[in-house]
Every structure is written in structure tokens, then in C-alpha cells.
Structure 1
Amino acid sequence: MIELNHVTRAYDAGPPALNNASLSVAAGESVAVLGPSGSGKSTLLNLIAGLDRPDSGTVTVDGVRVDGMSETAAAKHRRARIGMVFQFFHLLDDLTVTENVLLPARLLGLSRKAAEERAKRLLDDLGVGRFGDTHPARLSGGQRQRVAVARALMNRPPVLLADEPTGALDSAAGAEVAGLMKDLHADGHTIVLVTHDLALAEACATRTVRLADGEVLG
């Protein structure tokens, strides 16, 4: 499902964020990428999502080469193939929960009726359906992360990327989101999770790899 081959990405004059890194993720696998701050974890996710491009090497997602795409093509790739969950949720506070979840479908051009039905079903399945007309600022951290996951799943992407999804949460909410990620994998989602939290990795990943100084250590 995901294949990075000998990928290097450097910024300015510093050492490479990724240095000849290779990683394969099979369909239906849940992989946790562990490493300290500055080890290249977020760069890895950005390359998979087509938000960044390598200086050398190739990145393939769901059979599509993304490393040479234009920005327009990469945006279309993300809408159709990638769901992203972030540490700080990135929900729009001036929109309701339902409106936030509907955004990816609107960008992809799905019919409003079908999109609204899917948004309601996702929010219900994730235990936050009663908050559909609420604005995100009124929710707890764990609830907002559930809304963010619903948004990420809106367009049925084959790949879910999670960047420190419990980093902004207290321990109870973090355990809740870890359980959610485990359930998503059990439902067949392919997940790449980056974190510095070994407990999170052990709770919801079937395989762990480590990044250090931009290199994948296995």
C-alpha cells in the first residue's frame, strides 16, 4: 500500500530530515513510527501525503507515484487516498462538527445528501453524533479528536496517517483515542502512526519501526 524507496529529504544546510530511508507498509497493516523530536517522523508523513517531495528516492501510495506530482495532482491524491489526523485537530471553530466533517466531501465534489448521510453515520459510529450541531471549541480534547478522525475517514481513503494523535490530550483522552485507532485497524484501515509514545504504539500498532537521525532502523 505504501512504499518509500531510498528517500532523502534535506532542508537548508542542516543534516537531512530523512536520509536514504526505505519503508514498506502492507494493505491493512498498522505501523507505528517511533522517534524523538527532529528524527524525521513528520517529514515521513508529509512525503506519503504528497505535502512534501523528496530530494531523491520514490514514494508510492496505493499504486500511485506521488513524489513527482504537481501540487494540484497531489491535492487530488490526498482527497481520494489519504486521511490525516493531527496532534492539534485542525478543526475550524467557526463551523459545526458536522460542517467540519463534510469539508473533504465538498472538496471532492460528492453529493450533499450522500455526504451528510455518511457524516452522520461516522459521527454516530465514533460516539460523537450528538454533537453534530455543536462547535468544536465546546468539546473535550478526546471528542475533538474523534471528530477529526471522522473527517479523515469521510472520503473512504485507503490510508490513514496520524501525526502524534494523542500529543495534545490528557492520559484518559489519550487512552480513548488509542483504543479508537486500534478499532480502526481492526476494521481494515491501513494506518501509519508517528509518535514518541511507546505505550501508544504498543496499544494500536501491529508493527513498530524507529527513526533516528533521518534513518529507518526497523
Structure 2
Amino acid sequence: MSAPIIQLHQVHKSYGQGRPALSELTLRVEAGEALAVLGRSGSGKSTLLNLVAGLDRPSGGSVVIDGQRIDRLGEAALARHRRERIGMVFQFFNLLDDLTVRDNVMLPAQLAGMPSPRAGARAAELLEQLGVAQFATSFPSRLSGGQRQRVAVARALMNEPPLLLADEPTGALDSASAADVRDLLTELHAAGRTLVLVTHDTALAASCATRTIELLDGRIARDVQAVAR
């Protein structure tokens, strides 16, 4: 069996004296899976995503992403790991309003040291694939929510990461835009992308997840494989 792209073992995370955010959580995600993480507010969903992304560190246990034990990395190595191995999509897009769409998409590649001509060509390719090439020289504020989320996905894919993480990617969208983003994520998974989606959107989980886990009080309460479609 090939190594999993995500492997958490007995992960514990506390932020003080109260109930831990995650409690002895063990999780294995294979390359090519689309995992939806469900649960009420405070169940540990965002903490789990932050640990996988290397934005936070566990209080105990191990976090291995794409063969690299990231909980032991220093800050510089963690930042490099995120640039090269992780793409992230956020509920409120996190685009920079003073940069054009194209410059927003190019930013991760520029931070990674990619030459500008190559980064520009890659950005143009992604914007075309995601159906927003016509907005390349526009500023994010001129776009709809669904269009901004497509730009955010293009930015997340810029460095060709093996893992795409999405934190409530449809949470700030109207129903039509949410359906558009659900279709996009389904297409990305069908093309072989590994996805982890933290969401309250049961339609998103049903449409593109091959597996769903539900967190309750920092533990996995349910782990269900989707019926083959």
C-alpha cells in the first residue's frame, strides 16, 4: 500500500485549561481522496485543517503530510512546505484588493522564486481553465463571490500542490455561486486532486466527497465512505 498523503496519529491539541480542541485523533487520507469534514461549531474542524496545513502545531501526537512529519519542522521549513505542498481556499477568499486577479494568482509562485515569465504563463493557464481569464487585469472587488472563489482556487493551484484544503469554500456565497464552486471542486477531484473540505454545506459534501468524517468534541464520531457514483 502506498503511503497516505495525510497521516495524523494520536493528535491532541489544547489551547488552555478547558476541553481540548482535538483529542487523541488518528486519521489517514489516501492520495486522490476527497474528504469532507463536518461538525458543529467548536467540534475541532478548523483546528484539524490548521494542523494539516501547518498553520498550527499539535500539543501531542504526529502530523505527517505527503511523507513529511511537519510537526517537527522549523518555521522556515514549514513555510516552504506550505508553498510547495499545500493549496488553501478560504471562506472569504483572502485575495489582496490592491493586486489584480493575475497578480493575486501569481503571488505564491513569486514567493517560491519562480521566474516572472513562467509564473505569468502558469497564471494565465489557470485562469483560462477556471473560466475567469477575462478578469485577469481586474481587481477582486469587481468580481462576484463565485468568480473570486475561482480566482482563489487558481491561486491555491499555482504551485501545483498535491493537496488542496478548503475551509468553508461555499460559506460566503449565494446559492448559485455555491453550486458553481461545488461543480469546480468536483471537477478538480475527478482530475485527480486530493481534497480536504471543512464545511457545513451538506450539498458540497454529497456532491464531491468520496468520504465524510464528522467531528464531535475533538474526536471522529463518524467516518463514512461515499457510495460509488
TM-score normalised by L of structure 2: 0.94
What does 1:1-20 align with in structure 2 at a 5 Å threshold? Answer: 1-20=5-24
Structure 1 residue 199, shift from structure 2 partner: 1.4
Letter in 1 for 2:47: T
C-alpha distance in structure 2 between counterparts of 1:216 and 1:49, whole Å: 19
Partner residue, 1:53 = 57
1:143 maps onto 2:147 in alignment: yes
C-alpha distance in structure 2 between counterparts of 1:73 and 1:177, whole Å: 32
Q: Pick from 108, 122, 125: which aligns with 2:126?
A: 122
1:113 maps onto 2:128 in alignment: no
Partner residue, 1:68 = 72
Letter in 1 for 2:168: E
Query: Once the two structures are superposed, what CA deviation does each residue of 1:64-123 show, in whole Å capped at 9, x if it has no partner?
Result: 000111111110000000000000000000000000000000110011111100100000
C-alpha distance in structure 1 between counterparts of 2:200 and 2:151, whole Å: 23
C-alpha distance in structure 2 between counterparts of 1:202 and 1:208, whole Å: 9
Structure 2: gaps of 5 or more residues: 224-229
> Which secondary structure state, in structure 2, belongs to the residue aligned with residue 98 of structure 1?
helix
Structure 1: gaps of 5 or more residues: none
Structure 1 runs of 4+ aligned residues shifted over 3 Å read none
Partner residue, 2:213 = 209
> Which secondary structure state, in structure 1, belongs to the residue aligned with residue 138 of structure 2?
coil
Q: Pick from 15, 30, 44: which aligns with 1:40?
A: 44
TM-score normalised by L of structure 1: 0.99
Aligned Cα root-mean-square deviation (Å):
0.6
C-alpha distance in structure 2 between counterparts of 1:179 and 1:186, whole Å: 10
Percent identical pairs in the alignment equals 63
Partner residue, 1:176 = 180
C-alpha distance in structure 1 between counterparts of 2:21 and 2:177, whole Å: 31
1:196 maps onto 2:200 in alignment: yes
How many pairs are equivalent?
218
